[in-house]
Structure 1
């Protein structure tokens, strides 16, 4: 559970930094938030990897979620366009992330079922 909370924090930091980048065009003081957000996001993403989440899963979810959230929030905060085609794209990104996660879980389950026994297991004492 800890790794998922950390991943959510990394995503929120990245999205905050990216939205702040847009806001910094009008309010340059927000560049501080941009720097802190990106550094924080990568730092927390490293903690996610250290907690045991596979790189492909962590990066896929982090990147795709960041894209989807940024597109939606930029439409809300800045009036950026969010057309039906873009909505379909966001849905496909989310679907792709789900496929990666489900595939990773399936591979992990299959790998643990086929894990080789150590030399000590099953050996007569």
Structure 2
């Protein structure tokens, strides 16, 4: 559960950073929010990976959800259109991520392919 919360935080922070970039064109002070959004996105994505989610899955979901949410929010906040072709593209991206996730669940990595990270400071080995 914690892994998914970290990933949700990464997605929301990245979308915030991206939307702030557009808004900062009119209000330059928002470049600070943009930088904070991207920094937080990478921190949360790192925590997601640290929690055990494979990179390909985490990055795929992060990217696809970011594209979909940014497009939807841009339509609402900035009046940018979402054409039918764009909608189909977003659905295809999301479907691809679902297929990668489903395909991953059936695969168990051999012990030799696993990467064991050292425990964080303050954690027992």
Q: Distance in 2 between matches of 1:64 and 1:95?
A: 9
Structure 2 unmatched ranges of 5 or more: 113-125
**Residue of structure 2 equivalent to 1:50:** 50
Structure 1 unmatched ranges of 5 or more: 117-125
Q: Distance in 2 between matches of 1:19 and 1:78?
A: 9
Q: Distance in 2 between matches of 1:105 and 1:61?
A: 15
User: How far apart are 1:115 and its partner, in Å?
Assistant: 6.9
Matched, 1:32 2:32: yes
Q: Distance in 2 between matches of 1:74 and 1:89?
A: 16
Superposed CA deviations along residues 5-51 of structure 1, whole A, max 9, x for unmatched, are 10011000000000000000011111010000000100110010000
Would you say how many aligned residue pairs link Structure 1 and Structure 2?
112
Higher-Rg member (1/2): 1
Q: Distance in 1 between matches of 2:30 and 2:106?
A: 42
Structure 1 stretches of 4+ moved >3 Å: none
Change (3 A) 1:35 1:105: same
User: How far apart are 1:100 and its partner, in Å?
Assistant: 1.0
